[in-house]
Structure 1
Amino acid sequence: MIDDDLRTLGRYLARRDIDELGRKVDLLVLMGSAVLESVEVTASAFHQKVTERILISGGIGHSTRYLIEAIELRGLGQVDTAGRPESHIFRDLLIGRGVSPAAIEVEDRSTNCGENAEFSRQLVQTATSLLLIQDPTMQRRTHASFERAFPGTELISFAPVIPDGWSGRRFVSLVLGEIRRLHDTPEGYGPRGANHIGHVDVPPHVLLAYRNVAAEHPELVRPPGG
């Protein structure tokens, strides 16, 4: 039962506005994370001519050490990771997959979804459509952050992978934290809480799944204000 609830949470958070990549956009914004599938999907989008411009957003944050671990597990030891922002590492990985360096711009200060959007806004002068690619557990919140930073711009989310069968303490902690942030309550990030993002209507079946998983893992539920 808990596996089904985790699957429900993962699928909800991994927002995909389109079934597959194909339609051309002005700019693809790739967020740094520990999910290397993000790089693979971005490289594929570039080679399919979905976009000619890529902005990579990500500094050194809580996911950086997990990114380094993922690179080591993939046997990509030739990639320099020591003390480098996630965006710089992703840039090297994209170039290694045949993406033109001239097509890539880097924002290397952000450490969270809100800063991804805010600092990207400072660099993007002209774009009527953005394709957003993020760690699937943070895709929905990232979209909400970009909605606030890019009013009037068409935003298309495409989570690089849909979590199916994902488990483990870190994944459970991430999805519980994301639902808590998205839910517009005094403890969340919406207008009734920290006001970092606009109002998000979390569906009842997702909230039920959240409650079930939280009851199973109370040690991973952060207290209000925590």
Structure 2
Amino acid sequence: MTANEDLEVLSAYLARRDDGALTEPADVIVLMGSAVVESVEVVADAYRRGIAPRILVSGGIGHSTRHLVEALAVRGVEVAAAGRAEAEIFADLLRRDHAVPDAALVVEPHSTNCGENATYTRRLIDRPQRLVLIQDPTMQRRTHASFERAFADLRGTELRSHAAVVPSIGPDQVGAAGNGPPIWSRERFTSLLLGEVYRLRETGYGPLGRNFIDRVELPATVLAAFHRLSASRPPRPAGGD
């Protein structure tokens, strides 16, 4: 397989999209902060269509924050961003550009990684609910695993994931398929994908490693693509978190 095909394999696997996530009714849409500004429109559209009556925006200041600020500038989006949590920025965009009322928004501005997104969200939810998780596509599968761990004690909770965009991989840059400016350089995108597969392994963030998530069964095709792509570079976690 070519490097591009291997990237497609990893990207498609990590960008988890569950059937019915944005078509069946839910109680809360949980939007994770990230550098993927397009996720705001995805959530706003789901809210307008009545998928869920509440939006919980989770994300503090972390490794993606400076990339978010850069993405806003590239897109010409004027919003107060300096020194602010990703969740606060996204909530402002939902209010201002999509008329989402304050009553429908809950902002969690302290989490700095996927695990904390899940842990801090769990603290704000005290009964079983149907949650739709919206995240940067490179982190969607690990986010789902983190929420499964955090909500294991709240029996009856339903989790569905929907990666905010489907990445389109070009020779130098990667963006949302058929829409808008690039989101990542190809080099950064590659590093992020390799870092995510590393984290999802049992010896990464799984039970035999840092024990942040439960065991994730990685398909053989994903592991093979990971090994081929990382053969000439150390399989280090990229991007923090």
- TM-score (norm: length of structure 1): 0.93
1:103 — aligned with what?
104
Tell me how far 1:162 sits from its aligned partner.
1.6
Deviates more, 1:21-30 or 1:138-147: 21-30
1:84-163 equivalences under 5 Å are 84-95=84-95, 96-151=97-152, 152=155, 153-163=157-167
CA distance, structure 2, for counterparts of residue 45 and residue 28 of structure 1: 8
Letter of the 2:6 counterpart: D
Contact 1:26 1:127 in 2 (8 A): no
2:217 alignment counterpart: 201
Taking the TM superposition and a 5 Å limit, the aligned residue runs for 1:1-226 are 1-18=2-19, 21-77=22-78, 79-95=79-95, 96-151=97-152, 152=155, 153-165=157-169, 166=174, 168-185=186-203, 188-216=204-232, 218=233, 221-222=235-236
Deviations 1:101-138 (A, max 9, x none): 21000001100000000011111123421000000000
Per-residue Cα deviation, 1:30-78 (whole angstroms, up to 9, x for no partner): 000000121110000000000011100000000000000010011012x
Contact 1:10 1:164 in 2 (8 A): no
Q: Any gaps of 5 or more consecutive residues in structure 2?
A: 175-184
SS at match of 2:57: strand
- Gap runs ≥5 in structure 1: none
Counterpart residue identity of residue 130, structure 1: L
Give the C-alpha shift of residue 195 in structure 1: 0.6
In the TM superposition, what is the alpha-carbon distance from 1:20 to its structure 2 partner? 6.3
2:146 is paired with a residue whose SS is: helix
Higher mean displacement: 101-110 or 18-27: 18-27
The answer to which structure has the higher strand fraction is 2
Partners of 1:56 and 1:90 within 8 A in 2:
yes
Any conservation in 2 of the 1:27–1:127 contact (CA below 8 Å)?
A: no
Q: Distance in 2 between matches of 1:22 and 1:175?
A: 28
Deviations 1:135-179 (A, max 9, x none): 000000000000011123110000011223136111111100000
Distance in structure 1 (CA, Å) of the matches to 2:146 and 2:195: 16
Identity %: 55
Once residues 105 and 126 of structure 2 are traced to their aligned partners in structure 1, the CA distance between those partners, rounded to angstroms, is 15
1:164 match: secondary structure? strand
Q: Are the equivalent residues in 1 in contact too, given 2:149–2:213 (CA < 8 A)?
A: yes
Runs of 4+ aligned residues of structure 1 deviating over 3 Å after TM superposition are none
Equivalent position SS for 2:215: coil
Distance in 1 separating the partners of 2:6 and 2:148:
28
Q: Secondary structure at the match of 1:60?
A: coil
Query: Greater helix percent: which structure?
Result: 1
**55-64 or 99-108, larger mean C-alpha shift:** 99-108
Q: In the TM superposition, what is the alpha-carbon distance from 1:19 to its structure 2 partner?
A: 6.0
Over the residues paired in the alignment, what is the CA RMSD in angstroms? Answer: 1.5
Deviation at 1:98, TM superposition (A): 1.8
Count of aligned positions: 219
Distance 1:44 1:58 in 2: 20
